[in-house]
Amino acid sequence: MSLPIATPKGVVRRWIAAFNAADPDALAALYHDDATNHQVALHPVKGRDAIHAMFVKEFAGTQMECVPVNLFEDGEWAILEWKDPQDRLGCGFFHVIDGRIALQRGYWDSATFAAPQRRAPVKKTAAKPKPKA
């Protein structure tokens, strides 16, 4: 599949749409043949075919949604700050060369994804002093 030259932000916007559609074919098409996807909590995945297989496996295991919070661009780089519907946060760095992703590095807290649900912290109230008799 041939893709037109696109800005890094444009490529990441297409990546978000394909991710939220759970479309591993569309996602894989956004990467160079020899691209690396390194989610730092996991081992790097190298090559478009391996990245495709990673997305197939991930989408088969769970529903995921990427809600963009901020999207920045600097030269060949796009930086995506995201959350999911449970308000878990992360960010991704995308090195885009000639309209395709050459390197993606993602940062997120794997412990929050392992937990069944994220709960709001419980507020503790100060103990009331006992009245003097």
The answer to whether the CB of 85 falls within 8 A of the CB of 69 is no
pLDDT for res 119: 46
CA gap 8, 10 in Å, rounded: 5
pLDDT for res 107: 96
pLDDT for res 116: 57
pLDDT for res 104: 98
- Mean per-residue pLDDT pooled into runs of 10, the chain (133 residues): 72 97 98 97 96 96 93 97 92 97 92 59 56 65
The answer to whether the CB of 109 falls within 8 A of the CB of 91 is no
pLDDT for res 112: 74
In three state form, how does the secondary structure of 53-122 look? HHHHHHHHHCCCCCEEEEEEEECCEEEEEEECCCCCEEEEEEEEECCEEEEEEEEECHHHHHCCCCCCCC
pLDDT for res 6: 87
Q: What is the CA radius of gyration of the chain?
A: 19
pLDDT for res 1: 46
